[in-house]
Structures are given as structure tokens and as C-alpha cells.
Structure 1
Amino acid sequence: MPTESKLLSFLTDMKYLLKGKVLIANVLPVFTAYWLALHFSGARFMDHLGLFLLTMAGSTLVISGALMLNNWYESDLDTKMERTRNRPTVTGAFPLRAVLWAGSITTVIGLSIMMFTTYEAAAYSFLGWFFYVVLYTFWSKRKYTLNTIIGSISGAFTPLIGWAVITPADHIVPVALFYLLFIWQIPHTLAIAIKRLEDYTRAGVPMLPVVSGIGVTIRQIIVYVIVLLPLPFILIGPLGWIFFTFALALTLGWTILVAMGPKTKDKKVWAQMNVRYSILYLVLILLAMIILTAF
């Protein structure tokens, strides 16, 4: 029993260190774009199984390394925020020096693995890491509300990684996926910032609702969700009318939800609804792309 308890505690700490949901949300677009690149290039999955394993291992390690370095650098902020107090960098379960080394080594191994795929995919992997670790974590998060935009650029590189492993990412589909991931992350993150306003205020992080207020933030969320509306139209050609109808319905549903924001009394409940819907939106959009090209 003590051994099982220690193992469970270790796995729980690893989940917090790697921000489990965030890791999955970044790896899923890599796989989706890889799958779509196979489909549109006429390649067979089993003919590229080794390449697939390299891609998923390398990209996951690069993303994991970035997340660990983020936790290492932000440990002082995490002590002030209720939602991050269970991270092992705060509780002391993992020494900060060990996390720094783990994040650095994991990043190097991941990028090295990606070099065995294509140089373009490796370049996108590095750019995603660089935007998240250097430009977002080290430079902008503590200084500018622009940090949300920079963090969103980082996450938008993930589909380019998966696509570029198979064929150059100069196709409308990976460009549309970059657009989707970039725009999607902004209202998703701003909704989290409203929900966790006290946390960010206490930690002194200049998120938009902290600096400009909830009203301005809600208006920004509405604008960015509306900007997602062209996506289904862009992808009619490659993915067809079934995807178009499904994606448009999901986007209109989110548009209606965000439009309720200014008149909703409990803004935090509204923000939580948007966080949940945004996650569902992204997962369903990506799964629809995979399923519709599987047959």
C-alpha cells in the first residue's frame, strides 16, 4: 500500500507539472494535422508508422519540456494562485533545480527526435517552444496583456508540426488549423482569466480583466469568437459540407453563448461555461476532421 500511495502521488504530481489537459490539447492538433496530411497527400498510415511514432514522441517531449520550464519559472506566481498551489514546484514535491534540468533535457531530446522527421517540422517545434518559453513565460506574461496573444501563437504551431512531417505546410488545411488554434486560444484564455480574476490580481499578472476590467474582456471574447466564423467556409473545399455544417453549428453556438456575456449577472459562471464550451468546441472540431477523412 505505501508503494502504491507513493506511485499515485508521483503520477498526480506529474499531471500537475505537465498540466495534463494542456498537454493533451497541444498534442491532439499535432496528431490531427499528421492524419490530415496523410489523407490529402494520398499516403497510407501504416507506411509511415515509424515516422508517426517519432512525431508523437518528439512533439510530446518538446511540449512537455516547455510546460516544465513554465512551471519552474512561475513557481513564485503559482504560490499566490489558488488553482496552481498543488503543483509540485509549489509543494516542494519536485525540487526547482530538478524541474529546470528535466524541462531542459526533455526539450533537447524532443527537438533531437523531431530532427529525424523533417527539418520543417523540427523548426515549427522549436518556434512553438520559443514563443511559449522565451517570449511568453520569460518575457511577456509578467509585463503585458499581450501575453495572451503570444501564448496563442505558440499553441498555433502544433498543427504545422504534424502536417510538415508528411509534406510542406503550404496547404490551406494547415494554414486554417493555425488560424483555428491561434484564434481559439484567445477567448479560451480570457474566459479563464475572468474566472480566476482574484488569482491573477493577487499574483500581479497583467491579464486583460485585471488591467482593463471584465467588461472590456467580454467584448474582446465576443470579437475573437466571431472571427472564428469564417473557418467552416474556408474548409468547405477540402473537408466538405458535412464538416462545414457541423463546424458552423458549433461556432454559432459559441457565438450565442459569448453574446450573453454583457447581460449575464454572474460573469464567473458565464466564464466557466465558456471555458467548458471552448474545450468541447476544439475537441469536436478536430475529431470531426479525423473522422470525416478516415472513410
Structure 2
Amino acid sequence: MTSTIASQAQALPADWRDFFALTKPRVMSLVVFTGLCGLLAAPGHIHPVLGFTAVLCIAMGAGGAAALNQWWEADIDAGMKRTAQRPLPQGRLRRTDARDFGVALAAASVGIMGVAVNWLAAVILALSVVYYAVVYTIWLKPRTPQNIVIGGGAGAFPPLIGWVAVTGEITLMPVVLFAIIFVWTPPHFWALALFVKTDYAKVGIPMLPVVAGEAATRRQILLYSIVLLAVSLVPWAIGGTGAIYGLAALLLSGVFLALAVPVAFRRSAVEDRMRPEKRLFAFSVLYLFALFAALVADRLILGQGLAA
């Protein structure tokens, strides 16, 4: 497989769109948004230029980690229908170019964050890159069905980084924001894994539906959805937000849980072609955008966030 990709790369020239695709722009949009929300919800103020720089560094770090992920998993991506059209499986880039691009982008993001904003935010950004590109991609994903549970921390760093970019310190509130995304990740990703599990099975990735079966995965989705409802209300409970966020969290998490129930308690998905699972997955993306938007609205309108 590697030799096929390499030979294709010599025949198909890359352009900027292929390098951009390495950054997983759709995934990055959620990363950038939650990082921006963490920055806007934090108590205190940051110069707009420095704020823009911090968010740009978060985007660069996420893009670099994504490129390194695709460099390492090029052969796996080639074997999966969902990822076979990416630049590396299609042979439009050499794997070494993807690796070098990822390293350069990640290193630049950490350096700029440290020099322009603060070094604590830079250290956390570096940790997030290593967590995704090494801990999750190289170690967890091919070895354990708990890869998404433990690896969920990789996508949970952006609001913490955004908050620290403003305040220069880690307090309870940004840790709770980290926890929300950490708990959200398993039901979000397992809903996807349920309807693409044959892809993962084909390339030997031990996702939970492949290893433990659908029934166990469905129970875990429900369990994490219940925990998510509780964790999402913690910012309101500790006085870090006001009623705008609290009511939005209650409504959004309630809908999330309601969508998880039919996923959890059914035995056959043949007739409806995984419609409940696809609904839950689609809503889970909207959920995170809406929840963090409510966090920012609460901060701007009610001035909450100062206590935490």
C-alpha cells in the first residue's frame, strides 16, 4: 500500500488544497470555535490582535496534529471508504511532505503562542498536539477500544487554551469546559462508529462496536449522555455562568439524551439504515457549537464567568 501511494504521488502534483485538506478543516472549525469561546468567556481582557493570534495558533496546532495523524494513518485511510479520498491515499502528496508540514505547522503554532501570548497557553497547546498525534494516533487508536474515551482529551484542550491565553492561569472553570468536551467525545464518535464499523473492522482498528459489539456500544452511548447532562450543568452550578448558559445546557443536553435513548434500546438497525445513530451524530456537532455559543452569550450579556 505504501509503495502504491508513493508511486502515485510522483504522478499527481499537489496544490495548496491538498495541504489544506491535511488540516481536516471541518474538524478544525469546531476546534477553533471552542477555543474562541474559551477566550471570549474568560474573565479579563486581551488585545484583539493577541486574541486573534491565540485563536490562529490553536487552528495551526490542530491543523498540524491532523496532518501528522494522516501521515501516520495513510495506509489505514486508504483502506476505509470514508477516508480513501484524502490526499495521501489518493497519492497527491508524499508522506514525508505531510509529516514535515505537520511538524512545521505545530512547532510554529507553539512558538508564536509562547512569544506573542503566554507560555502556559503554549505549553498546553504543545501538549494537545502530542496528545492527538502521538498518544491517540500512534498508541491508543490501534490498540484499545477505549481509544476514544482516553483520546477524547485531545479535542478538549481548545477552550482551556483560549481561557489561559486571556488569564495566564488554570482555574476550575476552564477545567470544567475541558471535561464537557471530554465526556461529549465518546457518544459523538461512537454514534459515527456504529454506522461505519465495517470500515474500522476492515483495517483492524479496534473501535468499540467492532470489539465489544453494537449492544455494548449503545449502552455506553446512553451512559455517557447521562454523564454529559450532569457535567454540562456544572459551570452554572459553580457560579461560573448565569441562566442563559444554564438553561441552554439543560435544553441541549436533554435533547442529546433524548436522541441517545432510541440508539441505546434497539436491537436491529437494518430497516432504517441507522437513522437514529445518524441523527444523534449530526446533533452532537450542533450541540457543541450551540453550548459554547451560549457560554459566550452568557458572558457578554450577563457578565458571568468572573467567579470561576
* TM-score (normalizing by structure 2): 0.87
1:278 is aligned with what amino acid? S
Aligned mates of 2:19, 2:29 — CA distance in 1: 14
Q: In the aligned structure 1, how far is the partner of 2:20 from the partner of 2:296?
A: 26
Q: Is the CA contact (8 Å cut-off) linking 1:26 and 1:155 kept in structure 2? A: yes
CA displacement 1:7-55 (0-9 Å, x = unmatched)? xx94653453222211111111111011011xx23x2x5xx12211220
Q: How does 1:16-55 map to 2 (within 5 A)?
A: 16-37=21-42, 40-41=43-44, 43=45, 48-55=47-54
Note if contact 2:215-2:267 (Cα within 8 Å) is conserved in structure 1.
no
What count of residue pairs does the alignment treat as equivalent? 281
Counterpart of 2:289 in structure 1 is 283
Asked if the contact 1:191/1:271 (under 8 Å) is kept, the reply is yes
Structure 1 distance, partners of 2:64, 2:160, is 19
Q: For the residues of structure 2 that align with 1:29 and 1:125, how far apart are their CA atoms?
A: 14
Alignment partner, residue 85 of structure 1: 84
Taking a change above 3 Å as real, the CA distance of residues 169 and 219 of structure 1, as seen in their structure-2 partners, is farther
| Contact 2:19–2:98 (CA under 8 A) maintained in structure 1 | no
1:141 aligned partner: 141
Q: Name the structure 2 match of 1:112.
A: 111
Give distance in 2, aligned partners of 1:294 and 1:90.
45
How far apart in 2 are the matches of 1:275 and 1:232?
18
- Measure the CA separation in 1 of the matches of 2:104 and 2:20: 18
What are the within-5 Å matches in structure 2 for residues 97-176 of structure 1? 97-116=96-115, 117-176=117-176
Cα distance 1:80–1:127, how it changes in 2: closer, same or farther (>3 A)? same
Q: Measure the CA separation in 1 of the matches of 2:192 and 2:103.
A: 28
Check the 8 A contact 2:180/2:232 in 1, yes or no.
no
**1:264–1:270 contact (8 Å) kept in structure 2:** no
Q: SS of the residue aligned with 1:122?
A: helix
* Structure-to-structure mapping, 1:159-238, within 5 angstroms: 159-236=159-236, 237-238=239-240
* Distance of aligned partners of 1:146 and 1:111 in 2 relative to their CA distance in 1, 3 Å threshold: same
Give the match's secondary structure for 1:216.
helix
Q: Which residue of 1 aligns with 2:246?
A: 244
Offset at 1:235? Answer: 2.1
- Distance in 1 separating the partners of 2:75 and 2:149: 23
Which range is displaced more, 257-266 or 49-58?
257-266
Which amino acid in the other structure matches residue 266 of structure 2? Answer: K
2:169 and 2:253 map into 1 onto residues whose CA distance is 25
Q: Distance in 2 between matches of 1:233 and 1:78?
A: 37
Residue identity opposite 1:286 in structure 2:
F
Give the structure with the larger helix fraction: 1
* Structure 2: gaps of 5 or more residues: 1-13, 302-308
What is the correspondence of 1:253-268 to structure 2 with a 5 Å cutoff? 253-261=255-263, 262-263=265-266, 265-266=268-269, 268=274
Please name the residue that 2:300 is paired with: 294
Is the Cα–Cα contact under 8 Å of residues 148 and 189 in structure 1 kept in the other structure? Answer: yes
Q: Which runs of 5+ in 1 are unaligned?
A: 1-8
The alpha carbon displacement at 1:56 in A equals: 1.6
Whole-Å Cα distance in 2 between the matches of residues 129 and 286 of structure 1?
22
Give SS of 1:81's match: coil
Question: Equivalents in 2 of 1:232, 1:60: separation in Å?
Answer: 24
Name the amino acid aligned to 2:53: L
Provide the TM-score with structure 1 as the length reference.
Answer: 0.90
Aligned residue in 1 for 2:60? 61
Partner SS for 1:115: helix
In the alignment, the residues of structure 1 paired with residue 281 and residue 66 of structure 2 have an alpha-carbon distance, to the nearest angstrom, of 20
Q: Among all aligned residue pairs of Structure 1 and Structure 2, give the percentage whose two residues are the same amino acid.
A: 31
